[in-house]
Amino acid sequence: MQKRNFLLFSLLISTVILGVCVAPAGATGDSVSYARIVRLSYVSGDVQIVRPDQSDKWQAAFANMPIQQGFTLGTNDGRAEVEFENGSALWLAEKSMLQFTELSLSDGGRITKISLLEGTATFEADLRAGDSFVVSTAKFEVTPKTKSRFRVDAMGDGGSVNMLAGSASVSSGSGAKDIAKGEMFALGGGANAQESVRDYSARDSWDKWVSSRAQYLGFGNSQTMQYTNSPFSYGMADLSAYGTWMTVGGCGYGWQPYAGASWTPFYAGQWLYYPSFGWTWVSFEPWGWMPYHFGNWINCPGNGWLWQPGGYGNWIGAPVQWVGVGKHIGWLPRPIHPRITPVHADSKEGLVVASKNLGKEGRYEFVTASKMKDDVTDLPRPPLSDGKIPPVGAVEARNGGASGAVIVPTSANLVELRNQLAAAGGGSLGSARKPGTPAPTSTSLRPLMPTSEPVASLQNAAPHPAPRTPPAPPVRTYVAPPSSPGQPSYHPSAPASGGWSAPERSAPAPAWAPSGSAGRSGPAPSSAPSSAPAAAPHPH
Looking at the chain, the whole-number percentage of residues with pLDDT higher than 70 is: 65
Distance CA 145, CA 154 (A): 21
- More confident of the two residues 188 and 402: 188
Written as one letter, the residue type at 307 is W
- More confident of the two residues 164 and 363: 164
pLDDT given for residue 444 in this prediction: 33
Instruction: Phi first, then psi: give them for residue 452, nearest 5 degrees.
Output: -75, -15
Q: How confident is the model at residue 420 (pLDDT cuts 50, 70, 90)?
A: low
Check whether 3 has a pLDDT greater than 70.
Answer: no
Highest mean pLDDT among 120-124, 487-491, 507-511: 120-124
pLDDT given for residue 507 in this prediction: 35
Distance CA 276, CA 387 (A): 16
Over residues 251-267, the mean pLDDT reads 89
Check whether 147 has a pLDDT greater than 80.
Answer: yes
Q: How confident is the model at residue 511 (pLDDT cuts 50, 70, 90)?
A: very low
Cα–Cα distances in Å, from 207 out to 44, 122, 212, 263? 16, 8, 9, 38
Check whether 91 has a pLDDT greater than 60.
Answer: yes
pLDDT given for residue 395 in this prediction: 55
pLDDT given for residue 374 in this prediction: 66
Cα–Cα distances in Å, from 509 out to 21, 60, 512? 47, 36, 8
pLDDT given for residue 370 in this prediction: 64
Mean pLDDT for the chain overall: 73
Eight-class DSSP state of 424: -
Contact 89, 208 (CB under 8 A): no
Check whether 130 has a pLDDT greater than 90.
Answer: no
For 533, counting Cβ atoms within 10 Å of its Cβ (0-12 exposed, 13-18 middle, 19+ buried), the class is: buried
Choose the weakest-confidence range: 98-112, 157-171, 295-309, 368-382.
368-382
pLDDT given for residue 454 in this prediction: 41
Contact 164, 179 (CB under 8 A): no
Distance CA 514, CA 518 (A): 7
Over residues 8-22, the mean pLDDT reads 34
> Which sign, positive or negative, has the C-alpha torsion 506, 310, 426, 251?
positive
Check whether 156 has a pLDDT greater than 70.
Answer: yes
Q: How confident is the model at residue 250 (pLDDT cuts 50, 70, 90)?
A: confident
Q: 363-393: per-residue pLDDT in tens?
A: 688 887 667 766 788 888 888 888 888 776 5
Contact 309, 325 (CB under 8 A): no
pLDDT given for residue 191 in this prediction: 66
Choose the weakest-confidence range: 182-186, 370-374, 482-486, 499-503.
499-503
Check whether 59 has a pLDDT greater than 70.
Answer: yes
Looking at the chain, the whole-number percentage of residues with pLDDT higher than 90 is: 36
Q: 514-537: per-residue pLDDT in tens?
A: 232 222 233 333 333 433 333 333
Check whether 433 has a pLDDT greater than 60.
Answer: no
pLDDT given for residue 373 in this prediction: 63
- The 3-state secondary structure of 323-369 reads EEECCEEEEEECCCCCCCCCCCHHHHHCEEEECCCCCCCCCEEEECH
pLDDT given for residue 311 in this prediction: 82
Q: How confident is the model at residue 461 (pLDDT cuts 50, 70, 90)?
A: confident
Distance CA 540, CA 534 (A): 18
CATH of 7-19+32-201, one of 2.60.120.1440, 1.10.150.120, 3.40.50.300, 3.40.50.970: 2.60.120.1440
Contact 480, 488 (CB under 8 A): yes
pLDDT given for residue 314 in this prediction: 81
Q: What is the pTM of this model?
A: 0.77
Q: Which residues of 421-455 are buried (b: 16+ CB within 10 A; e: fewer)?
A: bebeeeeebebbbeeeeeeeeebebbbbbeeeeeb
pLDDT given for residue 41 in this prediction: 97
Contact 122, 94 (CB under 8 A): no
Distance CA 229, CA 525 (A): 24
Distance CA 174, CA 140 (A): 10
Q: Which element (helix H / strand E) includes 172?
A: strand 167-172
pLDDT given for residue 65 in this prediction: 96
Q: 275-306: per-residue pLDDT in tens?
A: 878 899 999 999 999 999 999 999 888 888 99
Over residues 212-227, the mean pLDDT reads 93
Single out the residue of 160, 65, 157 nearest to residue 122, CA to CA: 160
Over residues 168-189, the mean pLDDT reads 93
> Which sign, positive or negative, has the C-alpha torsion 484, 487, 490, 492?
positive
Q: Which residues of 371-410 are buried (b: 16+ CB within 10 A; e: fewer)?
A: ebeeebeebeebbbbebebbeeeeeeebbeebebbbbbbb
- In the chain, what are the domain boundaries? 7-19+32-201, 320-381
Q: How confident is the model at residue 243 (pLDDT cuts 50, 70, 90)?
A: very high
Written as one letter, the residue type at 443 is T
Listed in sequence order, the DSSP H helices in 342-459 are 414-422
Over residues 459-482, the mean pLDDT reads 69
